[in-house]
Amino acid sequence: MYHRVDQPGNDPWQLSVSPAHFEEHLRILRQKWTPISLAELAQQVVAHSVPDRSVALTFDDGYIDNFNQAKPLLEQFEIPATFFITTQNCQQQIPFWWDELLDILLNAEQLPQTLTLTISEETLNADLNDEATLTPALQRNHQEWTWTETGEPPTRRSRLYLDIWQRLKPLTHSEQQAVMTQLRTQTGQLVSTGSELICMTPDHIKQLINNPLFSIGAHTITHPALTHHSLHEQRVEVNSSRSFLEGLIQKPVSLFAYPYGSYNDTTVAILQKEHFEAAVTTNEGLITKRSQALELNRFQVNDWSGPVFDKQLAQWYRN
């Protein structure tokens, strides 16, 4: 599972792989493994006959670097990939809320010393104290920070970022944007328009699908954590994103990725009813002939060098 092929300054979730390392990954996959499409892998799961050492590449969200950086390298090595698109960000060319939140709190040179936000009818008061001004030392701390379940964020700014991120994740898109509007107003920041934060445009997606190596999957409209939302809301997010993509590429869209890996029995039932062929989670694990097509495991790939990636693949396979 990949998200971005780029080198952002801050990457606490380790979602980015540098173009150089990505090229090394593809070379190893071509030499030592059997790259196949996710659709083919799903068909093998249904047939209870998964080819040994087969690997399917997926990209979540639809960032622009998937087109600019990943696509040429995938074509060079002739390796198939599936791109799961969050359709609203594709259509409107706006950044994901989590990217904008990070950009404001970790990168802004000057922030107010205190911030007060209303989130789900609760008031969050934050005092940045001496971190209102971004110093070189603060910037280095942010660039070196990677999130772990047990680790403590290194600065007041990063702790505030994680706190707000956790509060916003289960909310609806409109609720998230209401909080982001408060934050923009109080910090004097405009909506981030950095080209590295946007998604592929509809035209990029149509170009992508012209190559038979590539397939498109649905990833909802607004990237909600689906388990926190009603049956109706889940159904709209799933079906509307699929309808937009099918109208765009003029091909059936039968693959789905659960945003944040968040899904429940209701979500799976929706996909079954709508005849999706396969769906991928963020649960780590190999795919075997006993896997369920609508709950396929994946491994997240970090920004590893080729030799480290090679060892990691071998370890996953052994386990």
Q: Which of 240, 242, 237 lies closest to 225, judged by CA?
A: 237
Long-range CB contacts for residues 142-145, cutoff 8 Å, separation at least 24: 142/9, 142/10, 142/106, 142/107, 143/9, 143/10, 145/10, 145/12
Within 8 A by CB and 6+ apart from 236, the residues are 221
Residue boundaries of the structural domains of the chain = 4-94+196-318, 97-187
Q: Which two tokens stand for residue 274?
A: 């709508």
Q: Which two tokens stand for residue 237?
A: 């997010």
Q: Which of 49, 61, 55 lies closest to 81, judged by CA?
A: 55
User: For 102-127, how does the pLDDT look when each residue is reduced to its tens digit (9 = 90+)?
Assistant: 999 999 999 999 999 999 999 999 99
What pLDDT sits at residue 291?
A: 95
User: For 284-297, how does the pLDDT look when each residue is reduced to its tens digit (9 = 90+)?
Assistant: 999 998 999 999 99
Torsion angle, CA of 15/17/18/22, rounded to 10 degrees?
-160
Task: For residues 296 and 42, give the distance between their C-alpha atoms in angstroms, rounded to a whole number.
Answer: 8
User: For 9-63, how does the pLDDT look when each residue is reduced to its tens digit (9 = 90+)?
Assistant: 899 999 999 999 999 999 999 999 999 999 999 999 999 988 899 999 999 999 9
Q: How large is the C-alpha radius of gyration of the chain?
A: 20
Instruction: Confirm if 263 and 226 have CB atoms less than 8 A apart.
Output: yes
Tell me the residue length of the chain: 319
| Helix and strand element counts for the chain (H, E) | 13, 11
| 4-94+196-318 fold | TIM Barrel (3.20.20)
Phi, psi of 236 (to 5 degrees): -65, -45
Q: Is this prediction's pTM over 0.85?
A: yes
